[in-house]
Amino acid sequence: MRKTVLALIGLSFIAGCTGTKNFSSPGLAPIPGSVTYNGQPRTKLTKSPPGSTFPHDFIDMYGQRVEETYMIQPDRSLKIVHREIRPIHFYR
């Protein structure tokens, strides 16, 4: 009985680790400083394949470091798929 429970826990852990990321959501809303804040960029990313991602880092109006990841959609528009906001620490 105990071996069965441990095996089920182990399998569920492994299944959770091997899952793929699902980026089918509409994405995050742009904030001031985002590449897509004033709409989509005028230039289209024609050399990058759809589904590829790239990072963009900036400092927001509150002085926090923002790291965003964009994904290129099939129509060559950009979608924010990840955002992380970190405070900036000044050391003396």
Residue 7 lies in a domain: no
52 and 79 in contact (C-beta within 8 Å)? no
Has residue 17 been placed in a domain? no
In a domain, 58, yes or no: yes
Looking at 2-6, 68-72, 82-86, which range is the least confident one?
Answer: 2-6
Q: Which two tokens stand for residue 38?
A: 């004033």
Handedness of CA 13, 15, 16, 18 (dihedral sign): positive
Nearest to 58 by CA among 80, 35, 81, 79: 35
Running DSSP on this structure, what letter comes out for residue 18? S
**Which of the two residues, 78 and 14, has the higher pLDDT score?**
78
- 4-59: per-residue pLDDT in tens? 555 556 555 554 444 444 555 678 999 999 999 989 888 878 888 999 999 999 99
Q: What's the domain range around 71? A: 30-92
Task: Decide if 41 is inside a domain.
Answer: yes
Residue 70 in any domain: the answer is yes
**Order of strands across the sheet that contains 53-59:** 53-59, 64-72, 78-87
Please check whether residue 52 lies inside any domain of the structure: yes
How many separate domains does the chain show? 1
What's at 86, amino acid-wise? R
pTM of the model: 0.67
User: What mean pLDDT comes out for the span 61-66?
Assistant: 92
pLDDT band at 85 (very low <50, low <70, confident <90, very high): very high
Residue 2 in this model has a pLDDT that exceeds 70: no
Examine residue 86 and state whether it is found in any structural domain, yes or no: yes
Q: Per the domain annotation, does 2 fall within a domain?
A: no
